[in-house]
Each structure stands twice: as structure tokens, then as C-alpha cells.
């Protein structure tokens, strides 16, 4: 086999192929390297001038022409690159000539610096708007409030068993403390103080208790020794360093106790049932309901909606008139729990937090209570000198 291989190699060499080209080709045909070496050793030849081989100083066009010629004969670019590398050509020059011969060019995209700056500016503006929105909604911790810090916040109320008594009688005061913050448990110092109308402190008492959710503390006010007149009883809760909350009540000592009139029972007026107008055309009924709501006739508007047989279309109609006349009573007529809860939540966003108790889905109830809590934090004023009830 080595003789036939030697003869085959000799023919290739006489045709002008270089030894490197022949060796590469035979290795690709899975001839053993030892057999190839033996075959080359057994032959003697004077190679013709290698027509396909170019001198190392060839230009890119010359190399490209060379590569293009042998690509047309079926040789691959990797084979030609190996041959040229073996003949001493630079790899970059070879790659450039291959791209030129095959018609492929490296395309580099450059983005102008001005465009990059504009894109960065837009991203910064968008990020700033998003950050500000989250701060306004209360969903982001501000730099002054570390992420891991538990907030302490109290709600304080003061009640009396009697606001007015005759001389010689005592009054019992009860302070109710509710934990409104995220801290699970912390100490609260309560200070009770009794003042006359001239601002003179007549009595004080201090007590410290721990709060986790809520607690009540009762004290007996020494009103039996007070002369006839008006007095102010206050309780101040100190917690979390400089944070305080204060509540106050007026106490009256009189010969004839003032009678506090009872508040009349609220008169419950039954809601007028809207006339239901049955309709098989949801679009027409919805338009009639919308016009009635716009004119101020909320009862008729709801009646048009309730006359729609399809439940989904009926709920859409009710949702539409709610957006026009802003009557929360329409929400109760919705059959979809999710849509009904969303209807009530739209009023909670406007400050009507009493509707939170009407919510049925747990997530909706949690969101409503969070809104109520945030509103309370924004409106509550805590200071060391003022009073609020």
C-alpha cells in the first residue's frame, strides 16, 4: 500500500501541489501519519515551481485571487489557511484575503457618542420618575429610614368614667395604647398630669408598660379634693427616644353635675329599591344607565343595569355608572367578588375607609387597611406640647 501511496504522492507533487498541501489532504483522508512519512521517504522528486503558492510578500489581492482559485476546485477555507500558514503567511493577512475572496466583510457598528449620552439621560430621567412615584405611594424606604429598622408608632386615647362630678367624688381615667408601627414589642412610659385653668400642675403619675399590640392603663384622679371648677387631665406616651403622643380631657367639678346629653340613635332610612327594567340588549341598557347616572338619577341608572340578564355585562354596566355618579351603593349589586372589591377600593382610595369591612378577598382587605394606615400616619401630628383627641 505504501508503494501505491508513494506513487500517488509523487503525481500530486509533480502537478505542483506542495508537500504541506499533500500531507494535509492525506491526513483528512485518514491516512496514518507513519504511512505518510514512509511514503514521502521512499520517493525522490524535484518539485516544480509551485504555481498556487504565493510569496510571503504577496498583496491581499494576490492572496485573495489564490484562495478564490482553489476554492473553485473544491478546497475548503480551513485547508487553504493551513497551507498558507505552513508556507509562512500571516494569519491576519490570510483571514483578510479569505473574506475578500468569499465576499464576506467584517461589519462594525459604531454608535455615536451623542446618541449614547441621550440614551443614558433618558434612562436616568425614567429611573428618577419611578423612584419618586414609589416614594409618594409609601412603597419605598427613604434614606432616613433604614431597611431593617422597625418603626415605632402609637395611637393613644384617653377616656373618663365621668367628665363632671360633684365635689368629693373621684374620677377614673383610662389610657388606651395601640401599636401602629412595625416594631413587635417596646416600652411605653405614660405620664398623667392634672392642670387647673392657670396652668398649674396639681397632680402627676408616671407608669411604664410594654406594648406589643394594645394595652389599657387605668388611674384614679384625685378629684375628691378639688374645688369647683374646670381642669385639664392629660396623658403623654413617650416611646422610641424622642417620640411622644398626647391625649387630653376636660374635668368639671360642679355642685350640680353637668348632664351629657345622649346622642340620638341614627335614623336608618331604607334604601329605595331601584325599578328594574329587564333588557336583552346589554349595550342599550348600559347606555340608558349611563345617561341616567349623568343626569343624577342613580336609582334609575342602577335599575337599568340590574335588568341586564348577563351577569358579566350587568357588572360592567354597574362599574360604568359608578365611574359617573360615584355612588358606592352600586358596588353591592355586583355579582363578581373581584369586581365588587375593586369598586369598594376605588372609594377607599378617595378616603372612605369604612368600606374596607365590606371587602371579601384577603388581598383587597389587606390593601385597604394599608391605605387606611398610611392615611392615618400622614394626618396624625405628634408633638410634645400639643393635645389631640
pLDDT tens digits for 326-378?
Answer: 999 999 999 999 999 999 999 988 989 898 999 999 998 898 988 888 877 76
Mean pLDDT of 38-51: 64
Tell me how far CA of residue 5 lies from CA of 35, 45, 332, in angstroms.
9, 14, 97
Classified as helix, coil or strand, 231 is: strand
- H-assigned helices in the chain: 2-14, 19-28, 33-42, 60-72, 77-86, 91-102, 113-137, 282-294, 298-306, 311-325, 337-348, 362-379
pLDDT band with cut points at 50, 70 and 90 for residue 137: low
Q: What pLDDT band is residue 106 in, cutting at 50, 70 and 90?
A: low
DSSP codes of every residue in 48-95? PP-SSPPPTT--HHHHHHHHHHHHHTT--HHHHHHHHHHTT--HHHHH
d(CA 293, CA 322): 8
C-alpha span between 178 and 143 (Å, rounded): 27
pLDDT exceeds 50 at position 144: no
User: Could you tell me the three cell numbers for 221?
Assistant: 384622679
Stronger pLDDT, 65 or 260, i.e. the higher one: 65
Query: In the chain, where are the structural domains located?
Result: 2-102, 109-147, 154-253, 282-379
* 291, three cell numbers: 345617561
What DSSP character marks residue 308?
B
* Res 34: pLDDT: 85
Rounded distance, CA 377 to CA 369, Å? Answer: 12
Instruction: Tell me the pLDDT tens digit for each residue of 173-187.
Output: 999 989 877 887 888
Mean pLDDT of the chain: 81
The pLDDT score that the predictor gives to residue 91 is 87
- Burial string for 192-225 (b: 16+ CB within 10 Å, else e) reads bbbbeeeeeeebebeeeeebeeeeebebebebee
Dihedral of alpha carbons 276, 277, 278, 281, sign: negative
Q: What is the pLDDT of residue 273?
A: 64
pLDDT given at position 313:
92
**pLDDT > 50? residue 383:** no
Helix/strand/coil for 41: helix
Taking the CA atoms of 204, 207, 208 and 209 in sequence, report the sign of the dihedral they define.
negative
172-221 residue pLDDT tens: 899 998 987 788 788 888 999 999 988 899 889 999 988 888 889 999 98
Residues 20, 86: contact at Cβ < 8 Å?
yes
Domain 154-253 in CATH 2.60.40.3880? The answer is yes
Amino acid at each position: 500500500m505504501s508503494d501505491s501511496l508513494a506513487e500517488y504522492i509523487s503525481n500530486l507533487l509533480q502537478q505542483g501541489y506542495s508537500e504541506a498541501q499533500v500531507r494535509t489532504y492525506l491526513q483528512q483522508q485518514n491516512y496514518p501519519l507513519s504511512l505518510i512519512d514512509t511514503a514521502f521517504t521512499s520517493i525522490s522528486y524535484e518539485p516544480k515551481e509551485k504555481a498556487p503558492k504565493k510569496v510571503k510578500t504577496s498583496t491581499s489581492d494576490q492572496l485573495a485571487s489564490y484562495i478564490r482559485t482553489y476554492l473553485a476546485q473544491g478546497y475548503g477555507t480551513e485547508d487553504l489557511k493551513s497551507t498558507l500558514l505552513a508556507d509562512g503567511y500571516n494569519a491576519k493577512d490570510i483571514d483578510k484575503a479569505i473574506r475578500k475572496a468569499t465576499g464576506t466583510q467584517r461589519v462594525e457598528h459604531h454608535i455615536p457618542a451623542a446618541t449614547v449620552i441621550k440614551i443614558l439621560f433618558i434612562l436616568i430621567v425614567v429611573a428618577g420618575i419611578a423612584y419618586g412615584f414609589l416614594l409618594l405611594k409609601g412603597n419605598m424606604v427613604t434614606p432616613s429610614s433604614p431597611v431593617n429598622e422597625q418603626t415605632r408608632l402609637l395611637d393613644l386615647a384617653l377616656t373618663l368614667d365621668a367628665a363632671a362630678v360633684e365635689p368629693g367624688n373621684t374620677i377614673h381615667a383610662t389610657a388606651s395604647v395601640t401599636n401602629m408601627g412595625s416594631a413587635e414589642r417596646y416600652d411605653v412610659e405614660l405620664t398623667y398630669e392634672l392642670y387647673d385653668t392657670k396652668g398649674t400642675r396639681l397632680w402627676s403619675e408616671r407608669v411604664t408598660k410594654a406594648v406589643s399590640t394594645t394595652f389599657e392603663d387605668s388611674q384614679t384622679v384625685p378629684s375628691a379634693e378639688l374645688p369647683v371648677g374646670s381642669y385639664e387631665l392629660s396623658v403623654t406616651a413617650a416611646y422610641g427616644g424622642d417620640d411622644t403622643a398626647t391625649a387630653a380631657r376636660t374635668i368639671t367639678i360642679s355642685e350640680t353635675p353637668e348632664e351629657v346629653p345622649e346622642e340620638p340613635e341614627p335614623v336608618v332610612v331604607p334604601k329605595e329599591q331601584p325599578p328594574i327594567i329587564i333588557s336583552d340588549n346589554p349595550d342599550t341598557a348600559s347606555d340608558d344607565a349611563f345617561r341616567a347616572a349623568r343626569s343624577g338619577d342613580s336609582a334609575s341608572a342602577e335599575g337599568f343595569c340590574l335588568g341586564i340578564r348577563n351577569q358579566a355585562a350587568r357588572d360592567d354596566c354597574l362599574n360604568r355608572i359608578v365611574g359617573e355618579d360615584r355612588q358606592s351603593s352600586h358596588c353591592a349589586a355586583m355579582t363578581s367578588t373581584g369586581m365588587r372589591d375593586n369598586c369598594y377600593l376605588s372609594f377607599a382610595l378617595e378616603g372612605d375607609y369604612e368600606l374596607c369591612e365590606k371587602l371579601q378577598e384577603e388581598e383587597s382587605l389587606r390593601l385597604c387597611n394599608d391605605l387606611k394606615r398610611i392615611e392615618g400616619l400622614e394626618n396624625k401630628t405628634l408633638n410634645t406640647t400639643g393635645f389631640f383627641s
